[in-house]
Chain A
């Protein structure tokens, strides 16, 4: 079993829809949770960073962490065609090296 599980999709939605992207994990030591967006043939760019449990909002994006369920989510409101990309979740524990563990990524396609 992988340490971080993420549905690869693709997930296709119409423009304006609310998108929900999710990851589950097995390591209860994870405390830092990130979402990256990666356009085709580009490097990942950081979207959201959350420490421990709770919600964080930034514009159209909301990140949620539920440590009791070992489940994290990224919500995108009013989705746009420019949101079409691969979304990677990543997480780490506060240990030497601060290594990130990534999900496989979910491909999102927003149709106009």
Chain B
């Protein structure tokens, strides 16, 4: 089955700890995205990557870091610098062919602070 997987489903972070959220896709999509979703707010873009070994900051990149070493994988690290990390994190990917602007989402990871 083609799709986007995210793990873990739930993640708990202690104060001062860095945690990494996994995102994998087998859709052969070039672009990948990370969003944060808080109650009552729309999705806010954290980072995005259009090709391997390249990524750009989104609207709320502070306290987060990413890497894109493989086309299929785009992990997100929530660092200790992110003071309010509790949220629902969504990974998305987009195909590269002309005219296809839509993004497809994974099931999400819920991050909670202990």
Contacts and interface: CB of A to CB of B under 8 A. Distances in A.
A8 interface: yes
Interface in A4-58: 4, 6, 8, 32, 34, 36, 41-46, 49, 51
Contact of B110 (A32, A41, A44, A97): A41
Interface residues of B, number: 25
Given A44-B90, A98-B94, A104 B102 contact: no
Contact of B58 (A8, A49, A99, A105): A99
A43 B108 contact: yes
Interface stretch (B14-22, B35-43, B77-85): B35-43
Contact of A8 (B40, B43, B107): B40
A43 B105 contact: yes
Contacts of A92: 101
B110 to A, nearest CB: 7
Contacts of A98: 31, 94, 101
Interface in B40-58: 40-43, 45, 48, 50, 56, 58
Interface in B74-114: 88, 90, 94, 99, 101-108, 110
B90 A97 contact: no
Interface residues of A, number: 26
A84 to B, nearest CB: 17
Contact of A49 (B42, B102, B105, B106): B102
Given A97-B50, A104-B41, 17 more contacts: A32-B102, A34-B102, A41-B108, A43-B108, A44-B105, A45-B105, A46-B104, A49-B102, A90-B43, A94-B101, A97-B48, A98-B101, A99-B58, A100-B45, A100-B101, A102-B43, A103-B42
20 contacts: A8-B40, A32-B101, A42-B108, A44-B90, A44-B105, A45-B105, A49-B102, A51-B99, A88-B42, A90-B43, A90-B103, A92-B101, A98-B94, A99-B45, A99-B58, A100-B43, A100-B45, A100-B101, A100-B103, A104-B41
